[in-house]
Structure formats: structure tokens, C-alpha cells
Amino acid sequence: MYYTVYLSTAAQLMSDEELKKILLVSNANNRDLGVTGMLLYHEGSIVQVIEGEEQTIKKLYAKIANDPRHRGIIKLSEGKLDQRNFPEWSMGFRTVSAPEFAQVTGYQNVNDKSLLKPSPDQPDHNVLIILRTFYHTNIVRF
């Protein structure tokens, strides 16, 4: 198992509808590739973790890095995983610029107290630390 975490900036601010469309396509593609992960979006800032087989993740990251919908892509971390951090999510997703998102397959409510919390069953991987930091920096102030 392998993961990559990156940060980027949307080329243009995206509406909820645009984000939903991206989520639906990502869910289908990621499911077919055996990729799981999470994407957080806040006022044009994006942080995403993708996890799966190493070659699949490297190819997917190369594709993501060439996507014109965002720029300033910075790879924050990558490496091997003992187990997935997001085993049930073909792409967990949350926009933090809208108060509520309509239910979409793969949508995760970050106000759920269990989301991104350390688990006694699993060591706190740096992927979760990065996502938690982004979440608390951008959401807690609301």
C-alpha cells in the first residue's frame, strides 16, 4: 500500500456543483483503480490524500499534477502504508466553504466527531496529521 498527500490551489474558485461533479467522477475512477482517500477544499485551497497500489498512485498523481483545474501543486508526503487510512472511501470529500453539502456518494461530514480522530487501533499516520491541521486551520474559525 502506498500514499501521496498534496496541497494545491484551484485555478478558479469552484462552485458546489462543480465540486460535486468532480467527486462523482473521482469516486467512479478511484473505485475502478482501487484507490481510496480524502479531499478537503476551502476557498480554493485543496489538500488531498490518495492511497492504493504504488504504481497506481504514482500514475494518478502524475495525472493530477497536470490537471489544469489547479496549480501550485506541492507534494507534502508520500510513502508506504501498512494499511489504508480511508478503506471505505473511494474519495472522501468535504468543502468547507458551504454550510451544508447535499448527500453525495462519498461525502463525509467533517463535523462528525470520529472523523480524522486518532484511533487506538491504528497509529496516528502523518497523513491524518496533515488533514487534521488543514481542517482545524480552515474550519475551526467558522
Query: What pTM was computed for the model?
Result: 0.66
Q: Which of 113, 72, 110, 71 is nearest to 92 (CA)?
A: 110
Q: Please name each of the domains of the chain with its CATH number.
A: 2-138 (3.30.70.100)
What DSSP assignment string belongs to 92-141?
EEEESSSS-----TTB--TTSTTTT--BTTB---HHHHHHHHHHHHHTTT
Digit-by-digit pLDDT tens for the chain (142 residues) are 999 988 888 899 888 788 888 888 888 888 899 999 888 877 788 888 899 999 999 999 999 999 998 888 888 889 999 888 887 766 655 544 444 333 332 444 444 545 555 565 655 566 666 666 666 665 544 3
Helices first, then strands: H and E counts in the chain:
3, 5
Rounded Cα gap, residues 122 and 86, in angstroms: 12
